[in-house]
């Protein structure tokens, strides 16, 4: 896999976090839209990124998630990671319930970033 920059890696992380519970809630979509607006203030075509995520099999999600967590870690400062973790937590709570898989991936992200 080709290394991603922080913003692209964050997009992959959020998309997987929003999908691991088996459904993509509209509230989660609104959170991701906010992330995109904040991270990409200019027009950005993310079709290739979405295609990559959409073609992953569920058994590939964890490795893909770990890879992008490492990419984000390499390109970010601690303050940015803390902010992203807070945002990720609000994403998984957006539909007013946190599934076990969402919690697992959230904790995995914190662990990879040494925030557990």
In angstroms, rounded to a whole number, what is the distance separating the alpha carbons of residues 28 and 14? 9
In angstroms, rounded to a whole number, what is the distance separating the alpha carbons of residues 25 and 19? 9
Closest CA to 31 of 102, 114, 101, 79: 102
Instruction: State which fold the 6-112 domain adopts.
Output: TerB-like (1.10.3680)
Percent of the chain exceeding pLDDT 70 equals 100
pTM flag (> 0.75): yes
In angstroms, rounded to a whole number, what is the distance separating the alpha carbons of residues 3 and 74? 10
61-80 pLDDT tens trace = 999 999 999 999 999 999 99
How many beta carbons lie within 10 A of that of residue 49, not counting itself?
Answer: 16
Task: Copy the structure tokens of residue 78.
Answer: 């601690």
pLDDT for 42 beyond 80 = no
22-33 pLDDT tens trace = 888 888 989 898
6-23 pLDDT tens trace = 999 999 999 999 999 888
Degrees, nearest 5: CA angle 35-37-41: 130
């Amino acid at each position: 896999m080709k290394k991603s920059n922080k913003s692209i890696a964050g997009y992959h992380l959020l998309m997987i976090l929003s999908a691991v519970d088996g459904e993509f809630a509209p509230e989660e979509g609104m959170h991701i839209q906010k992330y995109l607006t904040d991270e990409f203030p200019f027009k950005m075509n993310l079709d290739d990124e979405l295609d990559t995520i959409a073609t992953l099999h569920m058994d590939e999600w964890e490795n893909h998630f770990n890879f992008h967590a490492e990419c984000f870690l390499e390109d970010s400062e601690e303050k940015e990671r803390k902010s992203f973790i807070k945002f990720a937590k609000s994403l998984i709570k957006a539909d007013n319930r946190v599934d076990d898989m969402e919690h697992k991936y959230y904790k995995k992200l914190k662990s990879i970033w040494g925030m557990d």
